[in-house]
Each structure stands twice: as structure tokens, then as C-alpha cells.
Amino acid sequence: MRAAFSRLLTQAARQDARILLLTGDHGYALFDEFRRAVPDQFINCGVAEQNMVGVAAGLAMAGFRPIVYGLSAFVPIRVLEQIKLDVCYANLPVCFVGDGAGVVYAQLGTSHQSTEDVAALRAVPNIDIQSPSDKFELEYCFSAFLDTSKPIYLRFGKSDCGDIHDAVPMAADVPKGDLIQVRPGAAPFAFVATGSMVSRAVQLADAIGGVPVWSAPYLEPFNRAQLHRISAPFERIFTFEEHSTRGGLGSLVAEVLSESSVTRVTRFGIDNRFSETCGNYAHLMEQHGLGIDSLRMQVAKLYPAVPTQPSSGTNK
């Protein structure tokens, strides 16, 4: 997905000199082609992320379309005050890109893991929040930035979780904020997932059989009426996110359905704790209960008909 983002950004910048990429001393190899293609549109602001957001706000006021790139532990977490006051308060067209969302920077520890970014920004007015599941949803989300005049936060992980779609969802078919169905099914429960966890939700649905799955590429705006319609036939909605269970997709779905639905909500994500051990990405996902077999066991506790035998080669 990172390579797709770099390609899309380079293509857009070649066509529009207003697009400027600001980075806080990150992404050199990722943006080599960008710097070769449009060197005057690349600004390294150094390890001064708060200042970088202020620079982006000023550039937006001057008519540019700045894209602020960083690890999601730094953008938006380190710069939340500047995003709120410098950009969102003035409703400026700045795109914030948080790479490495979740726990994918596993060996680098809590300082480089970001499981609270969506929760922090959901409370800030005027900013859209995007969480694509694959390169096709990324392109769908990226095109929206080129057509908007407000702040946007785009989050994605570094891990390659494979493609969910065969083609880019068309904006005419999927309005901003809509859920996208990626698996049909007639089970008494359904899965709603976002970002990297869509692939796990799909794997689990395929292993169980007959479980419908929806992807949420947008967390703000969010089509609440659509969620009510989707949830109506089901006893329970399971949500999946590589983010805290507090304030992210699970909280959003629970908030919406608590208004007028009897559908229960079970949230799969990072519990309210830090990563307590060091290891690779698969290790940390398992430690947080987000491995495929762990997820299957949790579903089976509520639906005993779900098979609980370990899957082969899918617990990644």
C-alpha cells in the first residue's frame, strides 16, 4: 500500500504544482521517485513535526495543497494541538498521512506504535478520517483528497496484508462515508472491519463460511443510516480494527447502533494496554488477541457452532 501511495502522490504532483509533500525526516526511499520527478515540491521539515504542521497551514492559506507525511505515532499524535488549531479550526485543505498505523513497528516499541490516532482525531471537528484496507481502497481515498477543500487524515500500516478488491471502488457507487461489502453471507452475525483488519475479517469469514463482511474505508464521515440498515438482520456485529477498542471503529459502530438498534456489538482491537513484550508483527498481533485463531476462538465463545480447530498458515 505504501508503494501505491507513493505512485499516486507522484502522479498527482506531476499534474498539479500546488501539491507539496512535507516530511519530518521520514520516507526517503519511499519518496525517491517523487523527489526525482518534482524536487521543488518536496520539503523536509526535519524532526520538528509541530512546526511542520504550522508550515503546512501557511502553505494551504497561500493556495497550495500540502500533504504532511509521518509515522502515525507522530502524525497525528505528536502534533494533535497543531492539527486542531492551525488546520482544522481554519478548515484548511491539508492532508495528513500516518504511516505504520497500529503495531506494525513492533520491534520499535510503544514510542513507534499508534493505536489511539483515530480516537484522538474523531473528537476534532472538520477532519475526515480514512482507513483503507488495500491499494484499491487507498486510490479511492486518495482521489477524494484531490476533490476536497478540507482537512483529511489518511492512515495505513506498513505490513502488506494483500488485496481485498479487484479494482478501485468507484466514488459514484460508493459515496464518501459508505461501508463496502466485500463478502456476502447469511450467518446470524456480520463483520465490519477497517484498514489492515479487513483482510483478517475476510480470512475468518471464509474459514467459518457464510459470514458477510463490510469494509469501512472512512471513519469520518460515516454513513450511520447505512449501518442501521446493514445491522437490522443480524443478532450481532463484530468489529475489527488495528487500533484501540476505545474511540475507533468499534466505538463508532456501538455509538450508532445504541441509538435505535437491538443488534449487539463485539469489538476486536487493542485493549486498553500497551504492548508488553517485544517481537515481530505477527507476535504482537497474537499478543493482542488479533491472530486468526484467537479471533476464531472469541467468535466461537458466542457462537458454539463456529469451528475452533486451529487453521493452518493463516495466523499471521
**The pTM is what?**
0.95
Helix or strand (DSSP H, E) at 264: strand 264-270
List the chain domain ranges: 2-156, 180-302
- Provide CB contacts within 8 A for 81, sequence distance 6+: 50
- Structure-block grid coordinates of residue 144: 477524494
Q: Which of 308, 312, 282 is nearest to 296 (CA)?
A: 308
Over residues 235-249, the pLDDT tens digits come to 999 999 999 999 999
Over residues 118-152, the pLDDT tens digits come to 999 999 999 999 999 999 999 999 988 778 899 99
pLDDT at 313: 47
Residue 173 CB coordination number (10 Å):
8
Confidence tier at 310 by pLDDT (50, 70, 90): low
Distance between CA 195 and CA 69 in Å, rounded? 18
Over residues 65-92, the pLDDT tens digits come to 999 999 999 999 999 999 999 999 999 9
Distance between CA 46 and CA 28 in Å, rounded? 12
Distance between CA 267 and CA 279 in Å, rounded? 24
Fold of 2-156: Rossmann fold (3.40.50)
Fold match, 2-156 / 180-302: yes
For residues 60 and 148, the model is more confident at 60
Fold of 180-302: Rossmann fold (3.40.50)
Average pLDDT over residues 10-34: 93
Distance between CA 101 and CA 169 in Å, rounded? 22
Give yes or no for a contact between 284 and 103, defined as CB atoms under 8 angstroms apart.
yes
Over residues 208-240, the pLDDT tens digits come to 999 999 999 999 999 999 999 999 999 999 999
Distance between CA 89 and CA 80 in Å, rounded? 12
221: DSSP letter: S
Over residues 254-287, the pLDDT tens digits come to 999 999 889 999 999 999 999 988 899 999 999 9
